[in-house]
Structure 1
Amino acid sequence: MARPLLSLLPLLLFSSPPALCQVTITHLPGFKGPLPFHLETGYVGVDEVSGVELFYYFIQSEKNPKEDPLILWHNGGPGCSAFSGLAFEIGPLKFVTSKYDGRLPSLVYNPYAWTKVANVILVDSPVGTGFSFSRNPKGYVVDDTITSKQTYEFLRKWLVEHPQFISNHLYIAGDSFGGKIVPVVANMVAEGIEDGDYPLMNLKGYLVGNPRTGEAVDFNSRVEFAHAMSIISDELYEIRVELYRDFILDPKCPKDYPQRKQAFGGRHLQEKHSKILPPQEVFPDLKCRTYPYFLSYFWANDYNTREALHVKKGTVKEWVRCNYSLAYTQNVQSSVAYHLNLTMKGYRALVYSGDHDMAIPFMGTQAWIRSLNYSILDDWRSWHVDGQVAGYTRKYSHNLTFATVKNAGHTAPEYQPKNCLIMFDNWISYGSL
């Protein structure tokens, strides 16, 4: 006997989520008053079979949204939430660094956000990152190729629902492991343009910070860097060392996340926030640069935060800043060929490196750039902010620019927000660093 159509409706709604659902956010828990920028959050369905939905944050440019470029930002990991980009790197929010006392951490405005001059989409990708989820467990098994295809599908569907941004200059961007995915996604966009895919995107280029490539030089350069920075002696040159690799000047700090089972105890999604204090031994010191990471767990896992962001109930049990337990396979052995293909086609590229990063040292990045065999158009020189050296840069043929950011670590905008905003603004507006 056939089932009534009405009885099938809930099943159909569950198995076939809408392509995109979105909401405008005017207030956030922990932030005093209305937000001084336009924030949108939402989901985009990118795999109807498994029910994969990628969560995103979108901030309109604070200058001229209609004409300013559109940036799709991908964080590292793989598995680091887009909220890291929003609150620690290029977004308009940042935490007040004060000792956690059980109350909801406070947020303030970041005056050096890239959203001052650009529209920015930050996406929780790959699935299982941040608030992105799959309705079928098989959907969580992904790799570089699947993730790139899903990101491209995300962008395509997002633009269909936001047609006012289709003509804006488009740039694909990201750092760390995200820097490996960026050129792959950008290539898919470029191929889609050549094939006439709808919507026809206005891709102008891409930018990556301290990017992974998959090449051995990413990590082999660590010893060379440590030796050059006088961290290891000549005698220890060939010996691996234990250091804080993201920023070599950081003090030694404990982990930047609470002992979650003890800290939250399943109470973090209660309807009203009450003081939740983890055991004293899990507290990092306030002097640690990563202390705001610690605060982010208590903010993002609060019931009121989930409600404000319109996170779908029952989809993500507990938010983690970086989910390193993903069923993820790195099947793109090297992204260098993608860099070559894009730049040979004339797309603009900015590759920047925090010069105190030993996770992906600038020496390794320079090595793979040299392997492209591009001629040098503007040789090594300093670039400046407020009359001070902010880093060094070199411009190559085929619209490729390399820049270092002085006294910056693995995620450069986190360490030098003002200088990185100026670097980004100069480059994105076709100026000179």
Structure 2
Amino acid sequence: MARLGSIFSLYLLHMLVLLLLLLLQACPQIAFSGSIVKFLPGFQGPLPFELETGYVGVGESEEVQLFYYFVKSESNPKEDPLVLWLTGGPGCSAWSGLVFEIGPLNFKVEEYNGSLPKLVINPYSWTKVSSIIFVDSPVGTGFSYAKNWIAAQSDDFKQVDQLHQFLIRWLIDHPEFVANPIYIAGDSYSGIPVPILVQQISTGNEGGIEPLINLQGYLLGNPVTDQRSDGNSAIPYAHGLGLISNELYESLKRTCGGEFTSINSENAECMQYVQEFYESYGYLLSRYWANDDDVRKALHIRQGSIGQWQRCKFELYYTPNAAGSFVYHVNLSTKGYRSLIYSGDHDITVPFLGTQAWIRSLNYSIVDDWRSWKVQGQVAGYTRTYSNKMTFATVKGGGHTAPEYKPKECFTMFKRWTSHEPL
């Protein structure tokens, strides 16, 4: 009886979400605020691509304001795929995905001398062949903010509900993209919310929520499927490889007690050392850049909405309440959506062997067996395709996350997959 009650409660929750989305369609004009950005401090001259930034209010009273960066495809925006991209964490800004992974800009990594860090073009941006919405999610991430402390509290399922609202409202304001093929994508911790979001969008389409989203599938890079098992081995492994100092490792063990992946931990000292573990010099440049007043004006950031911008904010009021995402992969496999799961084969945070194991446990037959895939005649990784339209690929030499280490190879992989070509 308890199990039946739980299932019924979950059913009611989904029905309430769908009802809310239907109500929100009646007043979309108050939810959206977007501006074109033609120049960015640190970049010489006008931007050679189309950038829009803005906020989308979600929730019944729009108490959550999700900030986004939208880059229009540099090829054929009328027909190219539209990708909704989530950076991991949870709590890592979409700007990190844009400037360190798959977007059209990179920081010029040079010694910081007090001046504004410089931006340069990324020749391997995925926006060469797709339009991408980079969204700061969950609330409290990057430039996204809540209007009160209750709204600032989030979890896996709240994040998904808010992202679903976000996408519907964004498409209502950008009707020219409604017919484009749409993919939901992300990396790292996004391996948890992305499959849940894909399922919710699919359910919304089946329930008649408009605009109907032309959902084609999803992409995940170095994805978490079970946070504890994926994450707790990373720091000891990094120490064993000599990648972090004995002093930092001992501090992490002492303050965190072996649990390095708790996001809503009240142990501030542990979180401080975890943040130190994940920061590097290139990442620090983004903090100097995003906290500059001229940068915030250029991005049209609302004054007083947040304090200091952080690339990854670990002190979110966030509860990771989804046990994992495997069951959602199972469900989506029956619906015929395409999926690409890729892993850097040098990733110590979410090792590819674990990812390969859960994909294998889906127990779908193989239609294209294990083989190398190449870029300009060189082996770029290995791949296998299954009968449920899922492709798994490793990226040779890629870490966490793969596009940071192997941008050319990952761009080629993405371009081939979205073009329905073999890797």
1:90-129 residue pairs with structure 2 within 5 A?
90-129=102-141
1:257-336 residue pairs with structure 2 within 5 A?
290-336=280-326
Tell whether 2:366 aligns with 1:376: yes
Residue in 2 aligned with 1:211? 223
Structure number with larger C-alpha Rg: 1
Please give the per-residue CA displacement for 1:218-275, whole angstroms capped at 9, x wherever unaligned. Answer: 358x59xxxxxxxxxxxxxxxx835169xx69676999xxxxxxxxxxxxxxxxxxxx
> d(CA) in 1 for partners of 2:108 and 2:334?
44
Change (3 A) 1:148 1:289: closer
SS of the residue 1:156 aligns to: helix
> d(CA) in 1 for partners of 2:405 and 2:30?
39
> d(CA) in 2 for partners of 1:53 and 1:253?
42
> d(CA) in 1 for partners of 2:175 and 2:246?
46
Measure how far apart 1:140 and its partner are: 1.0
SS of the residue 1:137 aligns to: coil
Residue in 2 aligned with 1:363? 353
Change (3 A) 1:420 1:373: same
Residue in 1 aligned with 2:328? 338
Measure how far apart 1:292 and its partner are: 1.7
Measure how far apart 1:376 and its partner are: 1.0
SS of the residue 1:138 aligns to: coil
SS of the residue 1:140 aligns to: coil
Equivalent position to 2:413, from 420, 423, 426: 423
Aligned residue type for 2:138: P
Following TM superposition, the consecutive aligned residue runs of length 4 or more in structure 1 with deviations greater than 3 angstroms are 248-255
> d(CA) in 1 for partners of 2:33 and 2:390?
37
Tell whether 2:344 aligns with 1:354: yes
Change (3 A) 1:315 1:49: same
> d(CA) in 1 for partners of 2:173 and 2:404?
31
Residue in 2 aligned with 1:270? none
Tell whether 2:160 aligns with 1:165: no
Residue in 2 aligned with 1:411? 401
Greater helix share, structure number: 2
SS of the residue 1:207 aligns to: strand
Aligned residue type for 1:418: K
1:3-82 residue pairs with structure 2 within 5 A?
18-49=30-61, 51-82=63-94
CA contact (8 A) 1:390 1:405 kept: yes
Equivalent position to 2:202, from 190, 204, 223: 190
Structure 2 unaligned regions, length at least 5: 1-27, 249-275
Please give the per-residue CA displacement for 1:329-374, whole angstroms capped at 9, x wherever unaligned. Answer: 1111021111111121100000000000011000110111111111
Please give the per-residue CA displacement for 1:270-312, whole angstroms capped at 9, x wherever unaligned. Answer: xxxxxxxxxxxxxx9xxx9932211111100000000000000
Residue in 2 aligned with 1:140? 152
SS of the residue 1:57 aligns to: strand
CA contact (8 A) 1:219 1:364 kept: no
Change (3 A) 1:379 1:408: same
Residue in 2 aligned with 1:399? 389
Equivalent position to 2:163, from 133, 148, 151: 151
Change (3 A) 1:289 1:328: closer
TM-score (norm 1): 0.81
Aligned residue type for 1:133: Y
> d(CA) in 2 for partners of 1:254 and 1:293?
22
Query: What is the percentage of aligned positions where both structures have the same residue?
Result: 55
> d(CA) in 2 for partners of 1:351 and 1:289?
25
Number of positions where the alignment pairs a residue of Structure 1 with one of Structure 2: 368
Residue in 1 aligned with 2:23? none
> d(CA) in 2 for partners of 1:375 and 1:105?
49
